[in-house]
Chains A and B, each alone.
Chain A
Amino acid sequence: MHKEFLMGNEAIALGALAAGVRLVAGYPGTPSTEVLETVAKNRLDETYVEWSVNEKSAMEVGAGAAYSGARTMVTMKQVGLNVAADPLMSLEYIGVKGGMVILVADDPGPISSQTEQDTRHFSRFAKLPCFDPSTVQEAYEMVQDAFEYSEKYHTPVFFRSTTRVSHGYASIEIKDRAEYKNTVPEGFIKDTKRWVIFPRLSYQAHINIEARNEELSRVFSHYEKNLLIPAAAGSRYSKKGVAVGGFSYTYVNEALAVLGQLRELKVSTPHPFPEELAVRFLQGLDEVLCIEELDPVIERELIYICGKYQLPVKILGKLSHHVKNSGENTRDSVMDNLTEFLQVQRPDSGVLEAGDLAELPELPVRPPVLCAGCPHRASFYAVKQAMKGKKTIFCGDIGCYTMGNALPLDMVDTCLCMGAGLGIAQGVGHIEPDTSCFAFVGDSTFFAAALPGVVNAVYNQAAMTLIVLDNSTTAMTGHQPHPGTGHTMMGEVVAKVSIEAVLRGIGLDFVETVNPLDLQAAVAAVKRAAVQPGVKAIIFKYPCIAVTRPQGCMTVDRAACIGCRRCIRELGCPALIIRDGHVTIDAALCTGCGLCSQVCPAEAIGRRVQA
């Protein structure tokens, strides 16, 4: 054992490696991404790791490996689980041979997601066990437990993390390589009665699953990470208890360190719920406050248990409006919840008094924006210019380019989920034939989720323009490779899958690849595409600023600048700022993309000559 300072996601990855994981597949998504990246960085010779094209592929690749007896992990964010739901819901019935851990990172807030969905619900829906760690150290240990349970019960298991666990850091005790479990997969053994899903097999499997989950509920009542903590000796609150799960456990414990320890139930396996343990917790209490993030999963379980065992305990939480029912908890919100529950004063410190916040000067608002020099800005601007005055809809998608919605670009009319922009553009077009329908999709999203939408459009005679924003990387999640980049997570250099060839193969006649930073050519291409019938595509190809070298830096000639601020009003580039009343270019941010020089009516913006 030795100590390391690790991010939660790194700890999960190293825990999986220590448990002898042989295959890891996933699709990037905040806050889950670093798990797979850390496996890739630390993998052993026998570990296979891949970024799959999407979560469904990852789940199926993982299933194959687990059928072959290998310990397997698949990684994704919560919305990615929806994409993987189809194989998963059947895999639940088939089961696995090698331990299979499905890592899903939920995002209370949400901070970087479309939804606040709760994977603990999904585990119940899928009838699969779910592990829910509270700290980085616990995540490291628990993922190893998860592999053991998965293998013992021949079932995939969920390992549910949340943003603060996944992205929190702590110095923790971890195993040396010599202590890693050595696993040798048996290989796939043919057995159609086991691996081929049929109604009769599913009927029998359903019976087995229900029995197993009842057994697991009993087993989990004795699982060492499900905790029943007694109240402090002589506590004034012997009739009050608190039930908690996930990261909120640390909030509660910090608060109870000040307020005094209450009887506390810490739920690490929200499904199957440790019912016997919960009954022991509830007996003799009058009131329980449930502190958890996302949905009231623990709260509902406790209400159910109180009904089933006729326990006269009031269960309070989100459903009773004692705890807010959306957004993430904080140390302060939990302290408020607990002090209200105990009817005591909140301890106060802090440099600001209650009244000070009223005098707070108006803070600068900083919505996330496209980076200075981002090629997406140029692409959006070209389409905007080309279609000025026309009836249009611009359907966006998931990625950095969602930020094309911000002013002054204002070029994202819809955004739903990965790949949905294509379908939405078609649907609008069928109802409003006089609207020019555009769908924007990034290169990684193109491979992950857009292909069926393109085929659908071609087959069903839609009229739309597809704009592929190809920046040669998966930018939003931190620059992961994808089929168009020509390299894999195993470090191999492979043939690139050509987006243009794919589109031509599907049957599109109009496919043009253009550099969006050449504004005139980009606008002309969009105008040509817009007047063509059927499904057309433009691939705006220019690498993300994070994967390419800056092209120098632009500068404003103050003598020539007429002060119209057109550059700022049209582009909203963060490198364009006003200093002492003049438009200035922030040299620390500018990448020299040159888009601003192409919109300046006075030709006052040029390339800075290096001294």
Chain B
Amino acid sequence: MSRNIIVCGVGGQGTILASKLISAAAMAKGIAVKSAETIGMAQRGGSVFSHIRMGDEAECPMIAAGTADILLAFEPGEAVRMLPYLKKGGLVIVSERPVMPVTAALAGSDYNGGEMLEYLQRKAGRVIVADTEKACRELGSSRIVNLLLLGIAAASGELGLTAEDIRQAVQSKVPPKFHELNFRALDYAAGLWQQECLQ
């Protein structure tokens, strides 16, 4: 089994935990993992990414352009930024909620991510846009976007990891007080995937 996964978003959104959970879940199944992520200055509100490579043949933790199986994007503009990495037929799972950069706020921009989502849908073909804002409201926490996106990826069957694998990774990597919330987010995500399939 080999998979190339890109997780991207804005510093502070929880992309790093998402990539840690994927890696931990793969490790637990005996799959070799390599990964690389943004650490340092860019974490302060900058564009951040993780590259995750599963499988024995991966020598370099970085993914080459046009070879990612899945793009997990926490923000529409960041999804577009990383789109050159997606392979033909690859899957994009993107949170609908835009994060406006300070520069855009200063310039009086009305950046709302809409143009980005439209571009993604036109170019990528297989795009799942998750209404994470609604999900966060219904689940009562703004800090579960990572589990929602991860849950959709697991439910799609294309991650190479099941929701149960992710659940076990949560159990080993996340403080117990957040377990229940994270599990609910995974279940909610499975529901989102089913809705997507019915459409």
Q: Is the CB of B88 within 8 A of A349?
A: yes
Which listed residue (A361, A367, A400, A576) contacts B105, Cβ 8 A?
Answer: A576
Task: Judge whether A121 is part of the interface by a CB distance below 8 angstroms.
Answer: no
CB-defined contacts of B104 to chain A, threshold 8 Å: 364-365
Residue of A nearest to B81 (CB): A363
Q: Is the CB of B41 within 8 A of A168?
A: no
Task: Judge whether A548 is part of the interface by a CB distance below 8 angstroms.
Answer: no
- Known contacts A112-B40, A171-B27; is-contact A366 B47 (Cβ 8 Å): yes
C-beta contact mask, A461-478 vs B, less than 8 Å → 1, else 0?
000000000000000100
The smallest beta-carbon distance between B26 and chain A, in angstroms, is: 8
C-beta contact mask, B32-52 vs A, less than 8 Å → 1, else 0?
111111111111111100000
Residue of A nearest to B141 (CB): A588
Task: Judge whether B108 is part of the interface by a CB distance below 8 angstroms.
Answer: yes
CB-defined contacts of A3 to chain B, threshold 8 Å: 27
Question: How many positions in chain A have a CB within 8 Å of any CB in the partner chain?
Answer: 61
- Known contacts A111-B41, A364-B111; is-contact A164 B62 (Cβ 8 Å): yes
The smallest beta-carbon distance between A172 and chain B, in angstroms, is: 10
Q: Is the CB of A351 within 8 A of B125?
A: yes
Q: Is the CB of A577 within 8 A of B105?
A: yes
Q: Is the CB of B44 within 8 A of A167?
A: no
Q: Is the CB of B61 within 8 A of A170?
A: yes
CB-defined contacts of B88 to chain A, threshold 8 Å: 349-351
Task: Judge whether B130 is part of the interface by a CB distance below 8 angstroms.
Answer: no
Task: Judge whether B67 is part of the interface by a CB distance below 8 angstroms.
Answer: yes
- Known contacts A351-B83, A351-B88, A370-B44; is-contact A573 B102 (Cβ 8 Å): yes
Q: Report the bound CA distance from A569 to B100 in whole Å.
A: 15
Task: Judge whether A45 is part of the interface by a CB distance below 8 angstroms.
Answer: no
Residue of B nearest to A406 (CB): B102
Q: Is the CB of A350 within 8 A of B84?
A: yes
| 8 Å CB interface, B80-116 against A | 80-81, 83-90, 99-106, 108-111, 115-116
- Known contacts A30-B40, A368-B41, A569-B106; is-contact A578 B115 (Cβ 8 Å): no
Q: Report the bound CA distance from A169 to B62 in whole Å.
A: 10
Task: Judge whether B176 is part of the interface by a CB distance below 8 angstroms.
Answer: no
Which listed residue (A171, A351, A565, A589) contacts B86, Cβ 8 A?
Answer: A351
C-beta contact mask, A350-388 vs B, less than 8 Å → 1, else 0?
111000110111011111111100000000000000000
CB-defined contacts of B36 to chain A, threshold 8 Å: 164, 167-169
Task: Judge whether B23 is part of the interface by a CB distance below 8 angstroms.
Answer: yes
CB-defined contacts of A565 to chain B, threshold 8 Å: 108
Q: Report the bound CA distance from A250 to B35 in whole Å.
A: 13
Task: Judge whether B63 is part of the interface by a CB distance below 8 angstroms.
Answer: yes
CB-defined contacts of A577 to chain B, threshold 8 Å: 100, 105
Task: Judge whether A254 is part of the interface by a CB distance below 8 angstroms.
Answer: yes
CB-defined contacts of A188 to chain B, threshold 8 Å: none
Which listed residue (B23, B43, B64) contacts A331, Cβ 8 A?
Answer: B64
CB-defined contacts of B59 to chain A, threshold 8 Å: 135, 250, 253-254, 257
The smallest beta-carbon distance between B61 and chain A, in angstroms, is: 4
Tell me the total A-B contact number using a CB cutoff of 8 A.
172
Q: Is the CB of B34 within 8 A of A351?
A: no
C-beta contact mask, B1-41 vs A, less than 8 Å → 1, else 0?
00000000011100000000001100100001111111111
Q: Report the bound CA distance from A31 to B42 in whole Å.
A: 13
Q: Report the bound CA distance from A171 to B27 in whole Å.
A: 7
Question: How many positions in chain B have a CB within 8 Å of any CB in the partner chain?
Answer: 63
CB-defined contacts of A408 to chain B, threshold 8 Å: 106
Task: Judge whether B191 is part of the interface by a CB distance below 8 angstroms.
Answer: no
Q: Is the CB of A368 within 8 A of B45?
A: yes
Q: Is the CB of A366 within 8 A of B105?
A: no
Task: Judge whether B194 is part of the interface by a CB distance below 8 angstroms.
Answer: no
CB-defined contacts of B24 to chain A, threshold 8 Å: 5
Task: Judge whether A191 is part of the interface by a CB distance below 8 angstroms.
Answer: no
Q: Is the CB of B42 within 8 A of A111?
A: yes
CB-defined contacts of A250 to chain B, threshold 8 Å: 59-62
- Known contacts A350-B86, A352-B66; is-contact A369 B39 (Cβ 8 Å): no
Task: Judge whether B174 is part of the interface by a CB distance below 8 angstroms.
Answer: no
C-beta contact mask, A165-179 vs B, less than 8 Å → 1, else 0?
001111100000000
Task: Judge whether B168 is part of the interface by a CB distance below 8 angstroms.
Answer: no
Q: Is the CB of B45 within 8 A of A251?
A: no
CB-defined contacts of B109 to chain A, threshold 8 Å: 578
Which listed residue (B63, B85, B100) contacts A578, Cβ 8 A?
Answer: B100
Q: Is the CB of A578 within 8 A of B105?
A: yes
| 8 Å CB interface, A388-411 against B | 400, 403, 406-408
CB-defined contacts of A253 to chain B, threshold 8 Å: 59-60
The smallest beta-carbon distance between B57 and chain A, in angstroms, is: 8
The smallest beta-carbon distance between A533 and chain B, in angstroms, is: 38
- Known contacts A350-B86, A366-B101, A371-B44; is-contact A361 B80 (Cβ 8 Å): yes
Q: Is the CB of B37 within 8 A of A167?
A: yes
CB-defined contacts of A350 to chain B, threshold 8 Å: 65-67, 84-88
Q: Report the bound CA distance from A254 to B67 in whole Å.
A: 12
Task: Judge whether A572 is part of the interface by a CB distance below 8 angstroms.
Answer: yes
Residue of A nearest to B58 (CB): A254
Q: Is the CB of B62 within 8 A of A369?
A: no
* Given contact pairs A30-B41, A169-B34, A360-B119, a sample of 18 additional A-B residue pairs in the complex whose CB atoms are under 8 Å apart: A3-B27, A170-B32, A250-B59, A250-B61, A253-B59, A332-B64, A350-B87, A352-B83, A352-B86, A360-B80, A364-B99, A366-B45, A366-B46, A400-B44, A574-B101, A574-B102, A588-B142, A589-B12
9 examples of A-B residue contacts, CB within 8 angstroms: A169-B37, A170-B34, A254-B59, A351-B86, A371-B12, A371-B45, A574-B101, A578-B100, A587-B142
Q: Which residues of A contact B (CB under 8 A)?
A: 3, 5, 30-31, 111-112, 135-136, 164, 167-171, 250-251, 253-254, 257, 330-332, 335, 348-352, 356-357, 359-361, 363-371, 400, 403, 406-408, 476, 565, 568-569, 572-574, 576-578, 581, 587-589
